[in-house]
Chain A
Amino acid sequence: MNSWSDPRWGDALTHLPDYLGNHVRVSLAALGLGLLISLPLALLARHRPGVRGALLGFASIVQTVPGLALLALFYPLLLVLAAVTARWLGFSFSAFGFLPAMLALALYSMLPVLRNTITGLQGIDPAILEAAQAVGMTPRQSLRMVELPLALPVIMAGIRTAAVWVIGTATLSTPIGQTSLGNYIFAGLQTQNWVFVLFGCAASAVLALIVDQVLALIETGAQRRSGLRMTVGVIGVALLIAAAVMPSLSRARQSYVVGAKTFTEQYILAALLTQRLQAAGLPATTREGLGSSVIFNALESGDIDVYVDYSGTLWTNQMHRTDIKPRGELLADLKAALSKQHVTLLGELGFENAYALVMPRTRAEALGIHSIADLAAHAGEMSIAGDYEIFSRPEWATLSKAYGLRFRAQRQMQPDFMYAAVAAGEVDLIAGYTSDGLIAKYDLVVLDDPKHAIPPYDAVVLLAPKRENDSALRKALTPLLGKIDIVMMREANLRASIGQSAADVAKWLWESIYTGHAAR
């Protein structure tokens, strides 16, 4: 198949106005805010060596924080802040998506602007500064008429650097709920859709280049006093702003938002929920690639309306429970506990996506390993791989303790790569997911858990507090409850992992449910 006739290019293109618009919006807002903070600070600091050192030091430290971590940190920070303002000032704001992304990116943009503004102003010939004083300029006039214009090329170079950084880093704002070109990259990475990954990278690179060139036009225009260049540059900025604002204006305001975490199954289920809502005449959009700790808070605060989570995850992460109960009991308790927070557990989808220890069938048979209990004796010589969170989750501690597991090595990797890694013998076993289609594809075996140390992970549909009494929403989603079994979900996950789009797989899933339903 010709790689350009791949339908995924077209699929990628349909998302472009939304992703690009949001990306430009958050980047420009962050850059604007960053400038608004950095420029006055730089002016304030230029004659004060102490302040200057402290500021540049702070900005440098911010720069050493990985972009993803910086973005992630702003989310809990704003949650706390929102709670404080709600309590003391009587208003709250969304700690999700745009705001934390903009603030973190603004902070990220500060270093080049601060540094270049300060060096630009300091680099001016003292004789010129004395001349400015001698012709009768006030310090403010000297700054405006002489110092800033002369430092402008250096300052603009800093702004351009900041713009490129911000646009690049903005791709990482997807997990905290800000739609960006990173949606392509995160979704593509999860579903092994390399067309999406490439498309996302290329789009953000092109955007960064365009913004850089537009700013360069303004810079040289200002330098050469060329009105034409300035005008073209300013028009360029205006077009960018228009491009950023237009799509969001045309979009319906009151639509349901379906959330999805950062793995294949979640993309499929979010697409399925969205399609069901749209089929019922309810406007719906998806927010994909949300961090697994972000998504529940986002639901609670109403930033998203509905998503699929797993009972065991909620039990340990949200309820902070370490005891393990039988499937039915745990669900009932969970439902009750959630309703106290006004979160509705609408019901189970019918399958479980549990953590499971998985290894190649041939190896397991050769070693005579059938269950985790059999594994314990071999663990000391074995290496295990898991997703980014499993080894720090409470379930892992419970599981290791229950069976006395101690592995030679633990590695973290992208979930979709684990199965290939264990099949190839890169690691001896993995902490995989029971609903993953790759288990069958690579001829892997799921080890039994005779002590029931791993909690049940029923896939459940959760509704936001503000949708508690939304009968239209309930009616649209109820037909899905109890209808997706593990075999169907594995098949669906497998289809997605070999390149079908989440939307197509969701359609297939619905048809299977429907035909199965009709046959019954």
Chain B
Amino acid sequence: MSVISTLISFEHVRKHFDGGRGMPPVLAVDDVSLKVAYGEFLAIVGASGSGKTTLLRLANRLIAPDSGRIAIDGADIANVDAIALRRSIGTVFQSGGLFPHMTVADNIGITPKLSGWPAPQIAARVDELMMLVQLDPVAHRNRLPNQLSGGQRQRVSVARALAARPRIVLMDEPFGALDPLTRDALGEDYRRLHRDLGLTTIMITHDMAEAVLLADRIAVMREGRIVAQGTATELAHVDDSDVDALLQTPRRQADRLRELLPRNAAS
């Protein structure tokens, strides 16, 4: 990766949490510096507790850093209105985070509604988004989240994140709770949306295979620090036992699958 203009940058960001009664404080994000380019799909991979979710929550100011600077388009987000910032960024949560008392349409249209779009425009946008995430608007528009399958819920969640035409989408283990088939289909569909809509995406996952398949670039986190970052190929050359271990799984899976599913039965 050479000189590409940066959209999101983390500069020496540090964040700790109080450890609870009698416990030492936990340093969740420890001096992290990271750049995400326009149109890039970055995956952040790491074990649970490595600080990747904290990093994501810092990006849309759900929490504030202790020190360091987070900038979008070069402007420190600390100086931007947090509400406006969040409305301009799409977010997809692990379990969907859909509002259980709102219909699919109301869930998808929530950010435009908060931003004061006129109702007909919201309705049109909702239908457009449902088509985009391949949900039939007529059949699903008025359903409640608990009337949908897990995959459908996550499609709604993606549609909701895209509703207000954000440039940036943050995803926290978006496909983690889905069965492998649904997960693959949804991942591919999102990858296409990312490309077609010119989005910049940060996706958190603990699944290296998913990261390798979907992302342009991967950052590996451990104990609040970024220990390696680069394309899958670049990571393969990193001399770090953890990174190596993370890459072992998809490699082993790939080898095994190749063995079991030969392209040409005759060979």
Give chain A's interface residues, CB within 8 Å of chain B. Answer: 127-128, 130-138, 141, 145-146, 149-150, 225
Q: Scan B160-173; emit 1 where CB is below 8 A from any A CB, else 0.
A: 10001000000000
B60 at interface (Cβ–Cβ under 8 A)?
Answer: yes
B28 at interface (Cβ–Cβ under 8 A)?
Answer: no
5 CB < 8 A contacts A-B: A127-B93, A133-B86, A135-B87, A136-B84, A137-B110
Contact A134 B62, CB 8 Å, known A141-B114, A150-B100: yes
B214 at interface (Cβ–Cβ under 8 A)?
Answer: no
Whether the Cβ atoms of A138 and B83 lie closer than 8 Å is: yes
Interface size class of B (residues with CB under 8 A): 20 to 34
Query: A residues within 8 A CB of B160?
Result: 135
Chain B nearest CB: distance from A445 CB in Å?
74
| Closest Cβ neighbor of A139 among chain B residues | B83
Chain B nearest CB: distance from A33 CB in Å?
29
Q: A131-B97, A136-B84 are in contact. List 6 more A-B contacts (CB 8 A).
A: A130-B93, A137-B83, A138-B83, A145-B99, A146-B101, A225-B101
Whether the Cβ atoms of A150 and B86 lie closer than 8 Å is: no
| Closest Cβ neighbor of B107 among chain A residues | A135
- Main secondary structure on A side of the interface with B: helix
The 8 Å CB contact of A131, one of B84, B87, B98, is B98
Query: B residues within 8 A CB of A132?
Result: 99
Which B residues from 100 to 118 make CB contacts under 8 A with A? 100-101, 110-111, 114-115
Whether the Cβ atoms of B62 and A133 lie closer than 8 Å is: yes
A70 to B164, CA, bound (A): 55
Query: A residues within 8 A CB of B100?
Result: 128, 150
Whether the Cβ atoms of A136 and B87 lie closer than 8 Å is: yes
Whether the Cβ atoms of A134 and B99 lie closer than 8 Å is: no
Contact A136 B99, CB 8 Å, known A127-B93, A130-B93, A141-B114: no
Query: B residues within 8 A CB of A138?
Result: 83
A150 to B111, CA, bound (A): 19
Whether the Cβ atoms of A136 and B111 lie closer than 8 Å is: yes
B6 at interface (Cβ–Cβ under 8 A)?
Answer: no
B95 at interface (Cβ–Cβ under 8 A)?
Answer: yes
A128 to B110, CA, bound (A): 14
Chain A nearest CB: distance from B144 CB in Å?
9
The 8 Å CB contact of B86, one of A127, A128, A135, is A135
Query: A residues within 8 A CB of B97?
Result: 127-128, 130-131, 134
Chain A nearest CB: distance from B93 CB in Å?
6
B91 at interface (Cβ–Cβ under 8 A)?
Answer: yes
Whether the Cβ atoms of A134 and B86 lie closer than 8 Å is: yes
A132 to B160, CA, bound (A): 12
Query: A residues within 8 A CB of B111?
Result: 135-136
Whether the Cβ atoms of B101 and A136 lie closer than 8 Å is: no
Query: B residues within 8 A CB of A225?
Result: 101
A145 to B110, CA, bound (A): 10
A127 to B84, CA, bound (A): 20
Chain B nearest CB: distance from A216 CB in Å?
18
A146 to B110, CA, bound (A): 11
| Closest Cβ neighbor of A127 among chain B residues | B97
The 8 Å CB contact of B91, one of A134, A137, A141, A150, is A134
Q: Scan B72-86; emit 1 where CB is below 8 A from any A CB, else 0.
A: 000000000001101
Whether the Cβ atoms of B95 and A135 lie closer than 8 Å is: no
Contact A149 B101, CB 8 Å, known A134-B86, A135-B111, A138-B83: yes
Query: A residues within 8 A CB of B84?
Result: 136
Chain B nearest CB: distance from A140 CB in Å?
11
Query: A residues within 8 A CB of B101?
Result: 146, 149-150, 225
Chain B nearest CB: distance from A144 CB in Å?
11
Chain A nearest CB: distance from B1 CB in Å?
29
Chain B nearest CB: distance from A11 CB in Å?
51
Whether the Cβ atoms of A136 and B83 lie closer than 8 Å is: yes
A225 to B87, CA, bound (A): 27
A149 to B100, CA, bound (A): 10
Query: B residues within 8 A CB of A127?
Result: 93, 95, 97
The 3 closest A-B pairs by CB, nearest first: A131-B97, A136-B87, A134-B91
Which B residues from 117 to 159 make CB contacts under 8 A with A? none
Whether the Cβ atoms of A131 and B93 lie closer than 8 Å is: yes
| Closest Cβ neighbor of B164 among chain A residues | A136
Contact A136 B114, CB 8 Å, known A128-B99, A131-B97: yes
Which B residues from 163 to 200 make CB contacts under 8 A with A? 164
Chain B nearest CB: distance from A32 CB in Å?
26
